[in-house]
Amino acid sequence: MFSTLREYHQAIASAIWMVILSIIPQDLVRLGAIFLGGVIFVCNIMDAMRPQNRMKKLQHRLQSLEAKLQDAVKSGIMCRSDTNFTAQIARNMGGIRYRTFELYEKTLLTSGGILQEIKAFWEGHSRDINECIEDVEALERDLEINHAKVLKDHYSSWRYWPN
């Protein structure tokens, strides 16, 4: 089969290289896929946490809250609510609006480029926007609870309605 020892060693070396080359590409493909997936994952998280994107979500949530508040006023829910609650809602809405405009101004100042946005992110601007979003959501929840409470009180006389 092999006429010399040299040919035998060459055949073994060739077989070893074939095995190595058949293993490496699969591992490289797996490693490349893991790396690419990780890069895509990190990029999506960074995009979601960009101050501009968070600010858009805050503005959308604030508009939703204001629409619900207007509906509560138009339907008379706020008139039937506790005066302390109404004053608290007005005070909280004023504070949230002020913070929103403040955060919006800071967002516009950092919208010069991706490096400025990354700097603003690391300085906690996105965190501040997230806290404001949480405050809007809490106020919206309080408004919904009050709405349900007022309607429950309004229909309390129907509690024992015969079937």
CB under 8 Å to 145, separation ≥6 — which residues? none
CB under 8 Å to 59, separation ≥6 — which residues? 100, 104
Residue with tokens 């070396």: 13
Which tens digits make up the pLDDT trace of 53-69?
899 999 999 999 999 88
Which tens digits make up the pLDDT trace of 144-153?
998 888 888 8
Which tens digits make up the pLDDT trace of 77-123?
888 888 888 889 889 999 999 999 999 999 888 877 778 888 888 88
Predicted model pTM:
0.69
Residue pair 58/136 in contact by the 8 Å Cβ criterion: yes
